[in-house]
Structure 1
Amino acid sequence: MENTAPQLFKVTIDGVEVEVPPGTTILQAARKIGPEVAPPAMCYYEPLKGSGGKCRACLVRVSAGSAKDPRPMPKLVASCITPIQDGMVVENFTNPQVVDARKSVVEFLLINHPLDCPVCDQAGECHLQDFSYEHGVGTTRYEEDRRTFEKEDIGPYIQLHMTRCILCYRCVYTADQITDKRVHGVMNRGDHAEISTYIGQAIDNDFSGNVIDVCPVGALTDKTYRFKNRVWFSKPVDAHCECEKCSGKVQLWYRGDEVIRVTARKNEWGEVNDFICNTCRFERKQTSQWTIEGPTKVSRASVISANKYSKNLVTKPDFALKLAESQYKKIDDDRPYLHEMSDIQQSEDYKALMAKDEKYFGHK
């Protein structure tokens, strides 16, 4: 019987081997392994066709092109647009040249980017913040005037801060691929390039709000959420509703009992799973309009998870013990686990500790 199993290519990234189908890019293969080897990405967005290849944040070194031709590639390559070959060997975080190149990319992205994180609504969920923190340096060599732009009103829902834009083109691809009429794009060339609307038109499509979610920085923000709250003071909750225009699957962001904003759900790479309509995003801000599914799973590395302790951890100590036991490996120790204070006081460890306390501090 003929074997119809799909052909798979083997690729090794930072010493970890993975099998992927032909046509897979290096970045996609790395993401299949996990975040520990996945390069950062500022312009690539998997749901959007044609994205990638612009910011060079995902540069990697190919030390072996393939099993048939193991010669290394002469230069660093953008992993988001470079397809893998069978037997390819890729160096990412393990290569000093790649790490140094990323620092240079961060420096270029920050040349004209205003350091206004304290007043930017994107702070706390900004990809450029994360990228510069993980791969950048603490100082800048740039001493020239920064590029600035005149403020432009592009509609009632979306605030444009062109000075923060890194020209990733995500918003352009989003408008092209999920709306029926795109009225904005990249105008001019080179250092004068900017995101703008044609002949001053407003962005008012039913799905225009999705450009806010795909923007990796604070260039496009929600006017209805502007200066209302810090993201780490908000509590994200997964919810859904019956909607004729979109899937209705969203994240509700609470401040107390108030829904202060609605966004699309994102995966672990910060990419939208299902794009949502403007009705869900801007007009449904009441809990009664949604079916609550539960708290959003947030990465422990994110500031959004700060101070979000479960009530059970305080009111039910047994819950905390069970949680710790489920998340951490048991210590390889044959000593008995002591629950009662009287048993603890009779243990040799406790007596030794008290003896040290008496010796150094002079009290029992």
Structure 2
Amino acid sequence: MIKYLDLQKINARHEEELHRAANRVISGGWYLQGSETAAFEEEYARYLSVRHCITCANGLDALTLILRAYIELGEMHAGDEILVPANTYIASILAISENGLTPVLVEPRIDTFQIDPERMEEKITSRTRGVMLVHLYGRCAYNDQICALLRRYDHLQLIEDNAQAHGCTWQHRRTGGLGDVAAHSFYPGKNLGALGDAGAVTTNRVELAEVVRALGNYGSNRKYVFDFIGRNSRIDEIQAALLRVKLNYLDADNRRRQAIASKYIAHICNPKLTVPTVDYLSNNVFHIFPLLCRHRDYLQTYLLERGIQTLIHYPIPPHRQRCYAHWNELSLPITEQIHCQELSLPLHPALTDDEVDYIIAALNDYE
């Protein structure tokens, strides 16, 4: 069986280093908010060329803490609107709702799966305070059009959801350092994945960083002094130590992902499948390799019968979920097409060339 994502094989490549890192923490006797966390925050901030990195429990917390910090700073208020891609994973939207803000769904482009700049401006109102730019599937969502739009509406905050795009670049700058602030998830399956849950916020704004850090520490920046009604959201020392190891290999792993994706694009030739074009290779670290098929469920079964595991990202769009019942009657045809037709192929740095060739052959034989 070719697994969609083989975490055991991925992490086995660095097993000795990971064991040493974990043992260093265990023998050191300090398990939270210690030197490993401080070192990872410094190293990840340097990797992104940003001033501040604040680790937290997971990617959803990172998004939630960012928006809460804007509210505490008086820069956003209940009911204010945040533009967000309609086809994103629901976490992006949950963070907006949890803070009493209003998510405004914007359709994506069918060729890039990213938020459509042409549709963004028509959604901006007097209550719009930010754009949550989600680098879906590992492709940078930022582009010249969005850059120009944000210059015209310079009061809007650019919040990056960088959960799927660690190491991705746009004009030699890394995602997670393009906007005013960014959220990161280090869920095990991510390009930079921990061996448990973990997340981070990155920004160049000192005041915003201080408030985010306090909010994730019960609302406190000084022991037993609470300036905000906060929460407990933090990474542990073992996860920080493991992430320090894996950060050293992120760029090489991304290059392997890009090589596999390039091979898929060049050699999958089946008129029943819509495969990304060569242009899709740019500014992309391929957390997910998506293709579209009108009979997606049949294709998934066909591949599984041939020993190829795939996933769907995502079977039900946010506006069709029960928790957002007030959106259920919305018509978002591009989002709905993606959610009905998208199938994700195996793509990770431990995938072998023979496995890639086998997957391509199976897809080309699909009828």
Sort the TM-score into its range (normalised by shorter chain): under 0.3
Greater relative CO (CA pairs within 8 A, separation 6+): 2
Instruction: Give the structure-2-normalised TM-score.
Output: 0.25
Rg (Cα) greater in structure: 1
TM superposition score normalised by structure 1: 0.25
- Name whichever structure is richer in helix by fraction: 2
